[in-house]
Chains A and B, each alone.
Chain A
């Protein structure tokens, strides 16, 4: 049983007041275990993106925050960028169109690792290589519009992990990409996370996609956590009706076998 990186207790995030108050998250209790890959499953509006923003401390000003998030796995209060990396859905708009991708990959390292721009440049080249961007030297001085969607997402991932965060949260990273590219991105994430010993939270609406590599699964429905457990358990013996519905809708007999490894706990 690995230790907790973060402990979420009774977290509620809401907007508006009185009659028009809407809850994005309602009374959430969740442990993020270190070194594990957690898949957060839910439809849009289920609160999964709010969870990402809440963990990163990037909730908008109007949001009302109740409850607490403890970080026993960190020696200091968490800072987004340094301890938490965040990747969003739309790769096209995550990158600043007027700056080179090299600068955007390097700036995190400059900020958090205390490197000068020369050192960060080398760091960035290494990262671009690891996310398999061809010709990193040339790519460093290129601009986002010169790359494809899949490449841009890989660049975004590189820039999110540049400062070597302990936790990487990816929010629907493949929804805007086609199937082949999706698989590539997922494989890349798996590899990076395993190499660096990062904790991964993978947010998606696609339970089949998550089932391929998640250690734990948390299912959200309408701002509440309805099911949480080890992946194998959730997928083979779902407890909540919603989870059962999701599984039956997305997985059928033609889906390849879910559980490949024997012992994974």
Chain B
């Protein structure tokens, strides 16, 4: 673990990504401390320009809401959705993939057709459909995005399991008389997991972007400030106050970029370790 961390620090991408994400995480954690009230509350005159009012460092939006408060709470929302989606998608995908890989035969075929079905329909449309049925709240959005994101981990987990189950230690476990479920959980799954975990960065990044798009279209959680909803709000005054749309967008870029960089740095660090081992 220490060696990986050290190698991560060596790579410039890893460091850059880590810095970005630490900064954003700090914003997210500081949000309820610095702005404990509702960020959607009206606190000042509408369309106050940034850097004019000490109490409102980035000014206000069209309705008089604090932009900086929105930014920081938006960071919270984005990171939460990103991480939660990754958790759900990876868990569901890993379970289904392992089941398919171990069961084989008809069960495997059927499950893979289901995976195909979820992959054929564009992920964004899946999310739209789910939100339209289940309503718009943050937890619904997490599941809606996971509906499209779980297929990658499922396929990868299945591929890993197919190669693992032929290995000697699995055969040995079977000979000892280990229960199949135990073999699955103790021998197969832990070894299938690392490559699947490598997908985390992509899933988090996708989730952040999809959530932003949903919020932008007005389909996000109306009770939560997100960068997407801020951009949509700012669109109304795009010509006169473009910064209202541009700044939250930069936040999105920074977050996604940070996730990708960290992901690449980690992948390089782990690959280097494997090469040497």
A touches B (Cβ under 8 A) = no
Interface residues, chain B, with chain A CB atoms under 8 Å away:
none
